[in-house]
Amino acid sequence: MQVKKLILIVILISAGYLLASFYFNDPYKHRQVKGLAKAEANFTLPIFPHISQVARPKEHFNFPITLGEIGPVNSLYSGPKQYPFYCMTIDSHIGQPLVDNQQGLGVPVYQDINNPKNIVGYSKDCLIKTHLNFYYLTDQDKLTKLSIAQFTQLHSLKNAKQPLTLFRAEQGSINRFIYTIAMRVTPTELGSRTASSLWNKKLIYQFNGGSGIGFRQGRQKATKTITRRLPEMQQGYAVISSSGNRTSYTYNMLLAEDTARRVKLNFTKLFGHPFYTVGIGGSGGGLAQYLIGQNSTGILDGLIPQYSYPDMLSQTIYTLDCDLLNNYFTFRSKDNSRWQQFDQRQLLEGMNTLQDFPQKIAFLQPMAQLMAGMVPSFPQGNSECINGYFGLSSFIHNPKQGFLRSFFSKQVINQTNWNYWEDMAWLFDRDQHGLVHSTWDNSGVQYGLKALKHKQISLAEFVHINKNIGSWKAQHQMKAENILIPFGRKLPLWLSLWGSDNITEQQEGKLAPRRNASLKAINAAYRGGQVFTGKLDLPIIDMRHYLEKELDMHHMSASFSARLRLQQANGHSNNQVIWVADPAYNPSEHAFAMMDLWLMKRRDQPKLSAVESKPKQLQDTCFDEHGKAIAQGEGVWHGTWLLAHKAKADISGQGTCAKTYAIFSNSRIQAEGPWQGSIFKCHTISLTQAIEQGMYDDIDLTERLADLQSIFADGVCDYNQGDAGRPIDI
């Protein structure tokens, strides 16, 4: 034991030295937010009976924004501003934000950012003046910024054999976020804000993903906006975007909608109404399209969600199970070696697992086990729960965690609750500790029930996992993870692995307590449009690469969760097409071409529904690495995800695409929850009633019945009754 302590001391001293080196060279430290501003009151849209049925207020800002001026600071209808708010105009290559106070609120603004000594003021709202920049595409397809003066001097470029490909990008701030309007232009249009001879009258709204908890303005680089959609812009499309529509920076979907509406309004006031506006974006940028399309009109006409989930809230249901399971496998199941075989973990996790797939953070397991007084061991495999979701439980759920970068001073950090739920403050109430309620719940969940019924785990194992897995502690009881970052954010020394300090434990041999969510918060989540219910009649091409073999977090089942909700809400899902491709082939250009046919037909015949205007050649499809269709048409995705609708659908056999690209489940499906995945709090029935209803098939529970009755004293989930928190009129 003395040797173990000595090793640990050496590790901590070395890590501390490296941490100090990193801290004093932190590029963000001199731009920290050191003063916390207070948000003034601002109109928040009512949500009853559902936010989609509430009229949006009339715009009061005089769009378009005048060049050299700033856009609106307060949102139109999404409530008070969130503080603290870290400015990222420098990170976006557009200089320092404008000074808006001398009281030390927000980030410091320097006389010379390259010599950060003389502070001229502070910026709490990160505003910038609306401005234009022009770019040209080099022979090496590199986008290069060009001033008008420089252009007039570049005669050799003017006289090149190939005409220059030129672009204009307007940038400014709307709702404190950085917006971009990009369009291809001709040489004679350089210097003009509104010339648009090359515009094809079609508009793309670029959404972007990532996991965010708010409190940041976000990056928005004009060059990246243009290059991301370069093929479409060369065809004549205009592109608009905002850092407020990247979920790395906010998951407040009402604010995202409010921002997107105003960015589009600024565009239409300059150029007139487009034939249509199509959204595109991956991950969080995909779910934002689903929710904005469901909740509002006038912003999007068609959706191309990539690698999408139906919404963020229902993703947290199983995401926050991941570290509970990892904690169980690593620390609490030490007498059961089967869980060190990663293919066995899938029985409980549902998402893909792979034996002998290396973990980037494998070294953390033996270090954490050593600190826990256990015999250290290296993991022999990997899982999506680890590879895809490592660290997200703390980042999303723990109000004490915050950022690994030095965006904020210690004083500001101590005054702020750092989690995703703060982005829901406009919608959810706060508890007695001032913390925003969450919708996550695992009371009554029988982890591994499906594996028990299939006799893949023993009754003793089923009892042990459900007695020991526990839950996340109440938010006010949580503490920051013990993390050192001597090697940077991508390789943190996570000493409190899997959030182990924040997970409930057995007390006196009794059940490790589970968590009950706020029914009021769940109810508000539905009414406030933060849950995708499927009530959506817009064209959708749901598109993704097959990434299950990489254990990527963007799993296949999410597309089919959205499909099931469309079916439940509308009786069909014919306005949604699902495309899955080998990672070597990008079907984006094909998707734009098909969406163009779809939307132009709707424009020409506006009385047609999304289904009636759908091109006949547009079908569910899976593609190989060369872009060739492996299979397409009705039934190609038939499989286990449809079993809940067996009476309504012909699913005789597995479809070709489902065979080619396997669809995995998640922890709540493995607990016999539905594939549609939006049951936040289940209705419960007694264990006796569950047995009488045949919930356990032919499994004899007699031997461990007393244990199970103790574990599930408040009942077990009966998923057939739906969500206990969902309003009956939604």
Structure token digits, residue 583: 């990672």
End-to-end CA, the chain: 59
Mean pLDDT along residues 48-64:
98
pLDDT beyond 60 at 626: yes
Mean pLDDT along residues 503-529:
93
Band (10; pLDDT cuts 50, 70, 90): very low
pLDDT beyond 90 at 17: no
Query: pLDDT value at position 80?
Result: 98
pLDDT beyond 70 at 34: yes
Query: pLDDT value at position 358?
Result: 93
Query: pLDDT value at position 150?
Result: 67
What is the pairing mode between strands 107-110 and 119-123? antiparallel
CB-based contacts of 194, cutoff 8 Å, min separation 6:
270, 271
Query: pLDDT value at position 6?
Result: 44
pLDDT beyond 90 at 717: yes
More confident residue, 600 or 507: 600
Query: pLDDT value at position 116?
Result: 83
Rounded Cα distance between 113 and 103, Å, is 20
In the numeric block, the tokens 């601002």 are attached to 42
Give me the percent of the chain exceeding a pLDDT of 70: 92
Mean pLDDT along residues 531-556:
97
Mean pLDDT along residues 286-303:
98
CB-based contacts of 203, cutoff 8 Å, min separation 6:
237, 238, 239, 240, 264, 267, 274, 276, 277, 278
Q: Specify the pTM.
A: 0.94
Give me the percent of the chain exceeding a pLDDT of 90: 82
What is the pairing mode between strands 238-246 and 202-208? parallel
Closest by alpha carbon to 253, among 513, 406, 103, 75? Answer: 75
Report DSSP letters for 82-109, one per residue: PSS-B--TTTTTS-PPPP-BSSS-BEEE
Asked if residue 86 lies in contact with residue 407, where contact means CB atoms within 8 angstroms, the answer is: yes
Query: pLDDT value at position 25?
Result: 52
Q: What is the pLDDT of residues 579-614, one digit of tens each?
A: 999 999 999 999 999 999 999 999 999 999 999 999
Band (9; pLDDT cuts 50, 70, 90): very low
Q: What is the pLDDT of residues 627-648, one digit of tens each?
A: 999 999 999 999 877 654 443 4
Band (650; pLDDT cuts 50, 70, 90): very low
pLDDT beyond 50 at 675: yes
Band (654; pLDDT cuts 50, 70, 90): confident
Cis peptide before 49 (omega within 30 of 0): yes
Side chain identity at residue 420, one-letter code: Y
Residue 41: other Cβ atoms inside 10 A: 8
Asked if residue 449 lies in contact with residue 708, where contact means CB atoms within 8 angstroms, the answer is: no
Domain spans in the chain, listed from the N-terminal domain onward: 57-98+116-228+237-245, 314-518+682-721, 532-670
Band (86; pLDDT cuts 50, 70, 90): very high
Query: pLDDT value at position 138?
Result: 85
- 660 by DSSP, 3-state: which? helix
Q: What is the pLDDT of residues 538-547, one digit of tens each?
A: 999 999 999 9
Rounded Cα distance between 381 and 215, Å, is 36
Query: pLDDT value at position 487?
Result: 63
More confident residue, 443 or 12: 443
Mean model confidence pLDDT for the chain: 92
Mean pLDDT along residues 65-81:
98
Q: What is the pLDDT of residues 451-464, one digit of tens each?
A: 999 999 999 999 99
pLDDT beyond 50 at 651: no
CB-based contacts of 724, cutoff 8 Å, min separation 6:
519, 522, 681, 682, 683
